[in-house]
Amino acid sequence: MIPEHEVKARLRDFGVAVPRGVTADGPPGIAEAAQGLTPPLVLKAHGPGLVHKSDAGAVRLGLASAADAAGAAAEMRERLAAQGITPEGFLVEEQAPPGVELIVGLVRDAGFGPVVLTGLGGVWTEVMRDTALRLCPIGEADAREMLASLRGWALLTGYRGAPAVDVEALVKLLVRLAGHGGLWEELDLGEFELNPVIASPGGVIAVDARHLPA
């Protein structure tokens, strides 16, 4: 499996916003490598057995400094070892501001070919099953329609006094991935799942990215 930070580097090259981050083998390297990042920081471990990182305790949010991230990595390594998991390395990245969590996927349907999916992300993905699908390629009007068709649409446009998120940035993200010249054209490489993409009034950012090889 391609590690998260490499999938994110690829997304960044594609014009998709991802958090600034660094990787390191272990705590001493983290203390140094994460110096240039702006807290709060997020720590994640990667390697075999870490597909669903939170389930394994391999995600820590809200770390106040590079030194705290290094300390959290030492703890995390012990906790993972108790489950028989040895991380290949750690990712430390900047924590994105809160917002609405969405899932964005590029998958290949056996019958129809490349398909783009979006919906409410995070825990809501499974609970709500609130998703929209389109065949690739899509244009901006398709992307807007997809979002507006979600039951969770009201969460994006400002629900009960919460500010509206940057819907146009979401539209651009969907088209960048699934429009003409988008990442979907490289789907022979496999499938992509961004979960979550965090949408806020200030923009959208993919804070988790997984690639499933073809």
Which residues contact ligand ADP by CB under 6 A? Answer: 19, 42, 44, 52-54, 59, 61, 93, 95-96, 101, 122, 196, 207-208
Task: Report strand pairing: 190-200 vs 131-135.
Answer: unpaired
Instruction: Please state the closest distance from residue 17 (CB atom) to ligand ADP, in A.
Output: 11
CB 103 within 8 A of CB 191: no
Q: 180 to 199, contacts with Mg ion by CB under 5 A? A: 195
Cα separations in angstroms, 89 against 4, 46, 76 = 11, 6, 11
β-bridge mates for residue 109, sequence order = 113
The widest CA-to-CA distance across the chain, in whole angstroms, is 50
Judged by beta carbon distances under 5 to 8 A according to partner kind, the member of ligand ADP, Mg ion, none in contact with residue 79 is: none
Which residue, 185 or 191, is less far from ligand ADP as judged by CB?
Answer: 191
Instruction: Report the alpha-carbon distance of residue 214 to residue 182 in Å, rounded.
Output: 17
Q: 63 to 102, contacts with Mg ion by CB under 5 A? A: none
Q: Which two tokens stand for residue 209?
A: 């990215």
Per rule CB under 5 A, is residue 208 in the interface with Mg ion?
A: yes
Instruction: Please state the closest distance from residue 181 (CB atom) to ligand ADP, in A.
Output: 27
Judged by beta carbon distances under 5 to 8 A according to partner kind, the member of Mg ion, ligand ADP, none in contact with residue 95 is: ligand ADP
